[in-house]
Every structure is written in C-alpha cells, then in structure tokens.
Amino acid sequence: MGNPKAFLTVPRKEAGYRPINDRIQDFGEVEQTLNTKDRQEQASRCMDCGVPFCHWACPLGNKDPEWNDALYHGEWETAYKILKKSNPFPEFTGRICPALCEKACVLYLTTGDAVTNRENECAIAERAFLEGYVTIEHPERNGKKVAVIGSGPAGLSTANALNYMGYEVTVFEKNEAAGGLLRYGIPNFKLNKKIIDRRIHVMEQEGVKFVYDAAVNLEKLEVLDNLEHLVSLEKDFDAIVVATGTPTARDLKAPGRELKGIHLALELLGQQNRVLAGKEFSKEERVTAKGKNVLVIGGGDTGSDCIGTAHRQGCKSVTQIEIMPKPPVGHNPNTPWPNWPVILKTTSSHEEGCTRRWNINTLEFLGEDGHVTGVRVQPIDWKPNPEGGRPIMVEAGEPEVIQAELVLLAMGFLKPEHPEYPENVFICGDAASGASLVVRAIASGKKTAEAVDAYFKKM
C-alpha cells in the first residue's frame, strides 16, 4: 500500500458509460475506460485492509489488495500475474461481474464508495493482452483425456485448469461458437464477443480442442462428430465434465401464451448476438422490437438486457414489470455489509429509458389475429403469512391492460436435473448450482478441475 492516505483524498472515479444518445445507436460496449494516471490513482484508494473483505466476498478469492498495490505502482505485469493466479478470465469478469468484492469493500461500508476493483481488474487484463503479458503455455501432457461438455465460463474454466495440469482436454459445444451465455445471452453492449474469441484463441494455442455443433446426448454421453460418427465419451475419455448450464427458461403459462410476439428473453438476446456475428434470419424467424411497445416480464438482469437490446433495435417504448415488491433504495437492513445488498439496481439499460413497475402479476395475454397486442395485469401486494413461510399475494386495485406488441419473458431458469452418472463424471457451473453468475461459474470450473485431478490421483 504505497499511499496510506489516498482513501481520504482520492474520490472514487468510475469511467462511466458512453452518452445515451450515442450508445443506443449501436451494440458497442457502453462502458468507457479511464486514462492510466486516473486508473493507478483509483488503485491507490485500496487500504490493504488487515481483513480484506473484498477477498472474502470474491468466489475466486481474488487478491485485490495485492494487485491494486502493484497497479498503483505502475507494475502492470506483476498486477496481472497476481490476478491470473486466482482468475483465469479477468477480461470477462472485469466487464460483467456485479463485483461482490466492491459491495464487501470496507470503503463501501464507511463511505459508500468502494475501490473500483472491477474496472481496475479489466484495465489490468486489457493491458496484459496489449503488452504481451498473456503468454502461451505448453503444459507437459500426463496421458489422460478429459471431455468437457459445454463451453460457457464454467466449461472454459475447467478446460483451462485441466489443460494446465497436463490433461488432454476436448470441449464439446452444441452451439457454433464457444462462450455459452457470455456469447449467446449477455448482449454485446456489455461484452464484445471479440473478447471471448481472443481467449479461445489462447486456449486453442495452449492445446485445448473445441468441437462445435456437437450436442452431447447427456443420458448416453454420446455425440456425433463432424463426420457423423457416434463418439462415446465414456469409451474415449478418462473423465467427463458436464458444464451445460441451465438450458430451460421459466415460462409463463397464462392464457394467450400461444400468441405470436411472446418470446423467452434468450430468443431475443441470442438471436441479436447471432445477427451481430453475421448470421441471417428470415423475416418470420426474426425477433425484433423495432417500432413496437415492448413489455418485459421479470425485473432482473436478463430483463434489463432485453431493455437495452429493445432500445438498440428501435422500439417505441419499454415497460418492465416484476411480481415482487420494489427493493429498498440504497440500503437494506436485511442484507447488511459485507453481504451482497439486495437493493434497487439501475443498470445502463434502465438509464436508456424504461417504465419500471413492481408488485404486478400477469393474468393473460391479449391478441388480435393471432398476434399479441397487450397483457392484462393485476396490481398486487404481499401480506405476511400468519403461519410463517412465504408471504401471501393479495389483489391491490383493479386489473389493467399494458399495450405491447412484443412480450419478453425474463423470469429465470429451471435448475437442471441430471442422470446418475459414474464417478468419473463431474457436474459444474450453473448445471450444478442453478442459474448464477459468471464469476461463480469460473470458480466452480476451477474446483471441478481440482476434483477431477484428485480423482485420478487416488486411483
């Protein structure tokens, strides 16, 4: 800690977003960057706490005080080396992590202005690629082969760690490119897909093999290769890692669900990312908000990504409704520091314009000529349950109709169930935990790689 008083004299400075009227014209990343001097100054705010709660809160155990100190001193390569030890993909988390570390930062508790750990992390990662600190390693092979099913952050993290341990790793991915929800869920305005391509290129050079358009039968653990030969993963590999995420989105079976113009969020988000990658869709297939009033059902982050996407597609208006009450603003006594605060979150997409409503239940979808035109909703309230447990939903006011020609369902994902697998099959990431975060998927991937290694060592 080079400047012990910086936390008193240097205010938190975020790079901020591009101006709204500029950023909604394209799908480029919305977040800007600070210059080198400001970035190092931001790192100087870290107090090198005796008990670094940032480190405690980070699922990867990132050593924020150590790399912040190196960054403050301009030792970018050292900062990257420290960061890389705990986080194999800081260029992803540096962009899209909600930064559990910042909400647990002691400065967040005392001043409300945490160290800008996420942005600092991203700056270190980008400098590392720019200056060539990201080197290609060629691990010595140990003769064992591992198949990883799924190339989301969990699969990539397992593959990466196992590769460094000497395993020969093949990743089977049902999509046409790697990244999972990083590529086909998270919009480009939060994460440019070139960032994923760059990492995959490193991993390929280091020896990880990727097989695309390869949907594995998860019951039989078989897959057709690109010559249409049936490959048995159990016969051809010594261990298998299932990192298939949460493929089933929660649907809303209200009357009228069959109307055209009602889509699961990922039908919009995945298709938009594919369009940006150059894929073409027919007019009938295309899901677009252009010229439409859009209703997003679900108040979470996926819903927020739908809002930003709808704006960029040229929607007329966006409304987001949520069945749960509005979270407290600023502070929630039920989730005290250093826990993650459950408070109102306003994203860059919300800032771009959106009517947000809470305590709204969906009754039915309304339509004309087979196409959705609106949604009948019921304002509600939540009353404490006298028998304890889940609060009781009660009506609060008259039902009303929200006009919408495009309805997007962003209500989360079902936790997947898995067959009973033999002991050389491991499950990781969202496939194991249910829908979560990129940083948790990466952490789970690392742990799974250790479990695979331990399995072979005890044989």
79 is a contact residue toward ligand SF4 (CB under 6 A): no
How far is 68 from 76, CA to CA, in rounded Å? Answer: 10
Give the one residue of 441, 443, 449, 452 binding ligand FAD; rule: CB under 6 A: 441
Give the one residue of 101, 107, 128, 218 binding ligand FAD; rule: CB under 6 A: 218
Tell the smallest beta-carbon distance from residue 250 to ligand FAD (Å): 11
Give the one residue of 34, 97, 99, 107 binding ligand SF4; rule: CB under 6 A: 107
Chain centroid to CA 353: 22
Residue type, position 265, single letter: A
**Consecutive H or E run containing 447:** helix 438-457
CA Rg value for the chain = 23
From 31-39, 49-57, 258-266, 323-331, give the range in contact with ligand SF4 by CB under 6 A: 49-57
Give the one residue of 30, 52, 159, 298 binding ligand SF4; rule: CB under 6 A: 52
| Among ligand FAD, ligand SF4, none, partner that 126 touches (CB below 5 to 8 angstroms by kind) | none
How far is 456 from 459, CA to CA, in rounded Å? Answer: 5
* Residues between 295 and 314 that touch ligand FAD (CB under 6 A): 301-302, 305
How far is 92 from 182, CA to CA, in rounded Å? Answer: 8
SS3 assignment, position 101: helix
372 is a contact residue toward ligand FAD (CB under 6 A): no
405 is a contact residue toward ligand FAD (CB under 6 A): no
- Residue 456: CA atoms inside 13 Å, Cβ hemisphere, count? 18
448 is a contact residue toward ligand SF4 (CB under 6 A): no
Residue 373 tokens read as 């035109």
Residue 122 tokens read as 């991203």
How far is 452 from 386, CA to CA, in rounded Å? Answer: 48
At residue 259, φ and ψ (nearest 5 deg) are: -60, 150
| Among ligand FAD, ligand SF4, none, partner that 243 touches (CB below 5 to 8 angstroms by kind) | ligand FAD
Q: Any residues with CB less than 8 A from the CB of 124 and at least 6 apart, and which?
A: 67, 71, 76, 79, 80, 83, 90, 94
Q: Tell me, what DSSP letter sits at residue 28?
A: S
From 36-44, 59-67, 354-362, 435-443, give the range in contact with ligand FAD by CB under 6 A: 435-443
Binding mask 111-150 for ligand SF4 (x = CB under 6 A): ----x-x---------------------------------
Residue 90 or 153: the one with the smaller Cβ distance to ligand FAD is 153
Residue 277 tokens read as 């990658």
**Greatest Cα pair distance in the chain:** 69
244 is a contact residue toward ligand FAD (CB under 6 A): yes
| Among ligand FAD, ligand SF4, none, partner that 186 touches (CB below 5 to 8 angstroms by kind) | ligand FAD
At residue 78, φ and ψ (nearest 5 deg) are: -65, -45
Q: Taking the C-alpha atoms of 371, 27, 301 and 80 in order, what is their torsion angle to the nearest 10 degrees?
A: 160
For the chain, the residue count is 459
How far is 10 from 120, CA to CA, in rounded Å? Answer: 15
| Among ligand FAD, ligand SF4, none, partner that 115 touches (CB below 5 to 8 angstroms by kind) | ligand SF4
Residue 98 or 328: the one with the smaller Cβ distance to ligand SF4 is 98
Closest CA to 221 of 455, 430, 424: 424
At residue 438, φ and ψ (nearest 5 deg) are: -60, -45
215 is a contact residue toward ligand FAD (CB under 6 A): yes
Residue 44 or 151: the one with the smaller Cβ distance to ligand FAD is 151
Tell the smallest beta-carbon distance from residue 183 to ligand FAD (Å): 7
47 is a contact residue toward ligand SF4 (CB under 6 A): yes
How far is 272 from 298, CA to CA, in rounded Å? Answer: 19
Give, rounded to a whole angstrom, the gap between the first and last alpha carbons of the chain: 46
Q: Any residues with CB less than 8 A from the CB of 287 and at least 6 apart, and which?
A: 263, 267, 268, 271, 272, 406
Tell the smallest beta-carbon distance from residue 384 to ligand FAD (Å): 32
From 12-20, 227-235, 384-392, 432-440, give the range in contact with ligand FAD by CB under 6 A: 432-440
From 35-43, 44-52, 248-256, 441-449, give the range in contact with ligand SF4 by CB under 6 A: 44-52
- Residue 92: CA atoms inside 13 Å, Cβ hemisphere, count? 27
* Residues between 111 and 150 that touch ligand FAD (CB under 6 A): 149-150
94 is a contact residue toward ligand SF4 (CB under 6 A): no
| Among ligand SF4, ligand FAD, none, partner that 172 touches (CB below 5 to 8 angstroms by kind) | ligand FAD
Tell the smallest beta-carbon distance from residue 101 to ligand SF4 (Å): 6
| Among ligand FAD, ligand SF4, none, partner that 70 touches (CB below 5 to 8 angstroms by kind) | none
Q: How many CB atoms lie within 10 A of CB 334?
A: 8
Residues contributing to the site for ligand FAD (CB under 6 A): 96-97, 149-155, 172-175, 180-182, 185-186, 190, 215-216, 218, 243-245, 247, 269, 301-302, 305, 429-431, 435-439, 441
Residue numbers at the binding site for ligand SF4 (CB under 6 A): 46-49, 52-54, 64-65, 105-107, 115, 117
